[in-house]
Amino acid sequence: MAQMIEWKHEKNVVDYRIAEEAMSKRVEDIISNRRTELIWFLEHDSVFTLGTSAKTNDFKNDVNIPIYQTKRGGQTTYHGPGQRIVYLMLDLRNGNKDIKKLVWNIEEWLILVLKDLGISGYRIPGMVGVWVKDPGRVNIDGTRDKKIAALGLRVKKWVTFHGLALNVNPNLNFFTNINPCGISGKGVTSLHELGVKIKTADVDKIFKQTFPKIFTK
């Protein structure tokens, strides 16, 4: 990674297409050594996005919000107000060129953030993202695992973009229209639904505080 990382926090909702264009430009600048790495905190208007592994049967109902095809990894997901998006434009050229390790690190970062909030997050083998136990509701598959954070990355010349999405207080009803990340039978949840009534700005602080524990220079 580069010597310095810029941390950017958006106060207003950012259109998904505009964010994609901005990420692409920043990645080109990082590749050309014109700009530093960037960790970008934002929210999107309500939108469904389809990753490179998305399937046509991921949608269970007709929807009336935009659907965008994207070049990030992963399948189908929802973004919207109340969900914290963290886009990671990181330079891996001088470090560990191990994408699986990077995904593990991002999941571990999310688990640390949740731990700071008194929530026990964990992985499920074969299912990228971070999960929690829901004490109140049972899934269709009989488990209590609920997804609270998703991630999807793209890498160009060993510079990453896209990133993670943590459900702080989004409208979870939108997720009922899809198989989130291609996974059927399990549900989603949020910090607020788990009783953690925290502001997004305070979540951002925890992300920044815990980052050095996982990602070393």
The helix-helix angle for 99-116 and 200-214 (nearest 10°) equals 130
Distance, CA of 163 to CA of 150 (rounded, Å): 9
DSSP secondary structure, 45-59, as one string: -SEEEE-TT--GGGB
Q: Which listed residue (92, 181, 191, 194) is catalytic?
A: 181
Amino acid at 115: K
Distance, CA of 145 to CA of 166 (rounded, Å): 16
Distance, CA of 15 to CA of 182 (rounded, Å): 24
DSSP H or E run through 94: none
Active site residue 186: no
Q: Counting Cβ atoms within 10 Å, is residue 1 exposed (0-12), middle (13-18) or buried (19+)? A: middle
Residue 180, CB half-sphere, CA atoms under 13 Å: how many? 26
3-state helix, strand, coil in the chain (%, to 5): 30, 30, 40
Contact 161, 37 (CB under 8 A): no
Active site residues: 181
